[in-house]
């Protein structure tokens, strides 16, 4: 039994506050809500909470915006949630150095917009950029559409301000673009899902906004042909900044949500964007590749038209969520195996009778097979979960991974040994003990 929660200043214990932070967007519903939530306003709130948690041996689940898809931020009785969304200031933008210093609760799209005022951009752009926080992106090592060219969040994080489990403050990494002093603790904490430390600040890299952007949408008879075309773009040594794939099940959901008629153009679409000087020539080269198998394609350099083409992809997950309860998978495979992966997902759907839609960051080989069940159905057990597990198995068979960008969280932990092997998993637990000897930071998640 835990000590009375009231002993921690700022701990909210009313049912509505506790219920509001019990889970994320994964579809996982914890059996009980957490004991309470602290809404951090500054670093001192975080330090005080972690000192208290250490003293009382109480687990702390750090939370950004709760948009995670692996139940990494879900919390239950006996745990306290540390909500970082209120620490949301952009502290510095240094245009000459092309870096920004931010608090963790800043929304990703807000940082990108602020950088834009200086002719710069923040490259990692999860499809949730308008609703997820930089702290959550760092903790999950989030990817996104532009990561095909610019890399995932880890590539953009130069240094971190952390509060350790016992309340000590440490700074890792650097303010410079290069730097190799000591072990790369910044890289280790990125993607650690709140299990090693609480991120209270970050120095991130910005990049010059591209001078030219060209966008293309290509329609195909079926998703396997579209996936093969995506692999052909990579094999042709082209490097789009965005290379996204949307299948027929998703197109139907998008049509229903947006009143479009994309499904009538074919059973899958690829949306491709090239940027930088020569973007127009590069998109023409992409057109030559997709033209071999597409039923139709068109390209544009008009920003409004480009937004419209990309809107199909951005609308995909909300549109599928509108059709039922979903579990969004996140496997990644070698880019040459993309067609094998979508074919395998289709076979799993046919075999199990479970509806699975597929959208993919095809440029990275990162697929999101989306398991859809009727509203009120369960996605984390029963036939839907069996189908999800078959997809994990498929990813490993193809030489891929369980998770390209969403993290392991709570839901994929049972599969981790199969991917990492026992020795590697043991090493990860050893590392966890160095950072968090009492095991109070997000226990049962990530590893
Ligand atoms: C519609 C939709 C589209 C999405 N598209 C993408 C996509 O394209 N790419 C992608 O990668 N993800 C995507 N996601 C998933 C999700 O948005 C990301 O995982 C995001 O990084 C989570 O950020 P958050 O602020 O919501 O974190 P939360 O969900 O609150 O937390 C996620 C994890 O981070 C930890 N955490 C949060 N803040 C901190 C902190 N300050 N210090 C330490 N640990 C912390 C939590 O404990 C938890 O383990 C999508 C989600 C939705 C709903």
Q: Give yes or no on whether 90-208 and 213-397 have one common fold.
A: no
H/E element, 294: none
Domain ranges of the chain: 5-83, 90-208, 213-397
Q: Is 63 in the pocket of ligand 1 (CB under 6 A)?
A: yes
Q: Is 370 in the pocket of ligand 1 (CB under 6 A)?
A: no
Tokens of 233: 């773009």
Q: Is 313 in the pocket of ligand 1 (CB under 6 A)?
A: no
Q: Is 84 in the pocket of ligand 1 (CB under 6 A)?
A: yes
CATH topology of domain 213-397: Vanillyl-alcohol Oxidase; Chain A, domain 3 (3.40.462)
Q: Which residues fall within 8 angstroms of residue 217, CB to CB, at 6 or more apart?
A: 269, 270, 271, 272, 297, 298, 299, 309, 312
**How many angstroms is it from 107 CA to the middle of ligand 1?**
11
Return the best residue to mutate from 26, 136, 186, 189 for the ligand 1 pocket (most ligand atoms within 8 A of CB): 136
Task: Write the DSSP string, 9-64.
Answer: TTEE-SHHHHHHTS--SSS---SS--SEEEE--SHHHHHHHHHHHHHHT--EEEES
Tokens of 361: 């960051």
Return the closest-CA partner of residue 328 out of 411, 393, 443, 262: 411
Give residue 7's pLDDT.
82
Give residue 5's pLDDT.
53
The residue whose CA has the least distance to atom 36 of ligand 1 is 136
- Ligand 1 atom nearest to 409, measured from its CA: 49
Contact present, 336 and 228 (Cβ < 8 Å): no
Region 164-180 average pLDDT = 95
Contact present, 270 and 286 (Cβ < 8 Å): no
- Ligand 1 atom nearest to 138, measured from its CA: 21
Q: Is 4 a residue whose pLDDT tops 80?
A: no
- Ligand 1 atom nearest to 153, measured from its CA: 11
State pLDDT tens for residues 126-158: 989 999 999 999 999 999 999 999 999 999 999
**How many angstroms is it from 136 CA to the middle of ligand 1?**
4
**How many angstroms is it from 148 CA to the middle of ligand 1?**
19
H/E element, 312: helix 303-314
Q: Is 198 in the pocket of ligand 1 (CB under 6 A)?
A: yes
Return the best residue to mutate from 24, 26, 73 for the ligand 1 pocket (most ligand atoms within 8 A of CB): 73
Beta-bridge mates of residue 216: 272, 299
**What pLDDT band is residue 1 in, cutting at 50, 70 and 90?**
very low
Q: Is 272 in the pocket of ligand 1 (CB under 6 A)?
A: no
Query: The domain at 5-83 falls in which architecture?
Result: 2-Layer Sandwich (3.30)
CA dihedral 214, 271, 219, 354 (to 10 degrees): 180
pTM for the model: 0.95
CATH number given to 90-208: 3.30.465.10
State pLDDT tens for residues 309-363: 998 888 999 999 999 999 899 999 999 999 999 999 999 999 999 999 999 999 9
Q: Is 3 a residue whose pLDDT tops 90?
A: no
**How many angstroms is it from 66 CA to the middle of ligand 1?**
6
Contact present, 74 and 180 (Cβ < 8 Å): no
**Using a CB cutoff of 8 Å and minimum separation of 24, what contacts does 172-180 make?**
173/203, 174/203, 175/97, 175/99, 175/203, 177/98, 177/99, 177/205
**What pLDDT band is residue 378 in, cutting at 50, 70 and 90?**
confident
Q: Is 248 in the pocket of ligand 1 (CB under 6 A)?
A: no
């Amino acid at each position: 039994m835990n000590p009375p929660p009231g002993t921690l200043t700022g701990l909210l214990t009313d049912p509505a506050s506790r219920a509001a932070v019990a889970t994320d967007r994964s579809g996982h519903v914890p059996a009980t809500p957490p004991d309470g939530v602290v809404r951090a306003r500054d670093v001192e709130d975080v330090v005080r909470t972690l000192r208290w948690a250490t003293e009382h041996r109480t687990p702390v689940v750090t939370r950004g915006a709760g948009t995670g898809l692996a139940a990494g931020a879900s919390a239950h009785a006996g745990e306290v949630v540390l909500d970082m969304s209120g620490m949301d200031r952009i502290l510095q933008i240094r245009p000459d150095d092309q870096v920004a210093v931010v608090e963790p609760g800043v929304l990703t799209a807000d940082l990108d917009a602020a950088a834009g005022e200086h002719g710069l951009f923040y490259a990692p752009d999860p499809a949730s950029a308008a609703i997820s926080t930089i702290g959550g992106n760092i903790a999950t090592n989030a990817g996104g559409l532009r990561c095909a060219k610019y890399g995932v969040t880890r590539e953009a994080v130069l240094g971190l301000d952390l509060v350790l489990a016992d309340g000590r403050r440490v700074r890792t990494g650097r303010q410079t673009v290069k730097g190799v002093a000591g072990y790369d603790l910044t890289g280790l904490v990125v993607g650690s899902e709140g299990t090693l430390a609480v991120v209270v600040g970050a120095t991130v890299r910005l990049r010059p906004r591209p001078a030219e952007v060209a966008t293309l949408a290509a329609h195909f008879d079926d998703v396997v042909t579209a996936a093969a075309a995506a692999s052909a773009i990579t094999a042709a040594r082209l490097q789009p900044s965005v290379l996204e794939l949307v299948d027929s099940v998703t197109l139907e959901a998008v049509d229903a949500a947006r009143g479009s008629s994309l499904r009538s153009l074919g059973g899958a679409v690829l949306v491709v964007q090239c940027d930088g000087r020569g973007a127009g020539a590069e998109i023409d080269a992409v057109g030559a590749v997709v033209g071999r198998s597409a039923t139709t394609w068109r390209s544009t350099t008009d920003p409004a038209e480009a937004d419209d083409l990309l809107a199909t992809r951005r609308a995909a997950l909300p549109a599928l969520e509108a059709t039922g309860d979903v579990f969004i998978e996140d496997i990644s495979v070698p880019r040459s195996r993309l067609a094998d992966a979508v074919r395998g997902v289709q076979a799993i759907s046919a075999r199990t009778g479970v509806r699975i839609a597929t959208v993919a960051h095809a440029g990275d080989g990162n697929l999101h097979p989306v398991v859809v069940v009727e509203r009120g159905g369960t996605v984390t057990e029963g036939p839907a979960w069996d189908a999800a597990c078959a997809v994990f198995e498929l990813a490993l068979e193809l030489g891929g991974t369980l998770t390209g960008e969403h993290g392991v969280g709570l839901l994929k932990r049972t599969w981790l040994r199969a991917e990492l092997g026992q020795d590697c998993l043991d090493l990860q637990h050893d590392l966890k003990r160095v950072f968090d000897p009492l095991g109070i930071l997000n226990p049962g998640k990530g590893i």
